[in-house]
Structure 1
């Protein structure tokens, strides 16, 4: 299943900066595990976005709580389940098993 994850920054940019390297290390680990497809800051600088894959939401939530931004309460997290109906033919089947390839 795919998950759209939004991280909304709190009011302490200095604290975010202090934990940014650890957050990036966590993201790299999640990419290597195959859970994070892509991640990056939002253009409005109010937060970040992660597109993730996991078999179960509970397993993904446990991983999300390891993110230093989450652990230290620096972001509010919103996780939405995404069930792709259509996708590019280049999109890996494992991420969109029921989607129509175009």
Structure 2
């Protein structure tokens, strides 16, 4: 783990400890941010930068980077958004349009 963020995300030793962290508002947001960064890096690593596509990041957040059989999800050249991804994009656009006004 990068030393810059290691102080925020310390590996849990038990499932109970992980659940407690995820139930903490001050900690679970760090896990969510780390997962979003992981998703962005996944796209970049496979030649499909998605850092500016909140609908795709939201879709991958909801379906995961792995298939149900444990294999890694293959990136698509022209990925589409699911319902959750569209809601993320809508929220993202709404948030930033208010800042500009």
TM-score normalised by length of structure 1: 0.27
Whichever structure has more helix as a proportion of its residues is 2
Larger Rg over CA atoms? 2
Instruction: Select the structure that is richer in strand.
Output: 1
Higher relative contact order (CA 8 A, sep 6+): 1
Normalising by structure 2, what TM-score?
A: 0.27
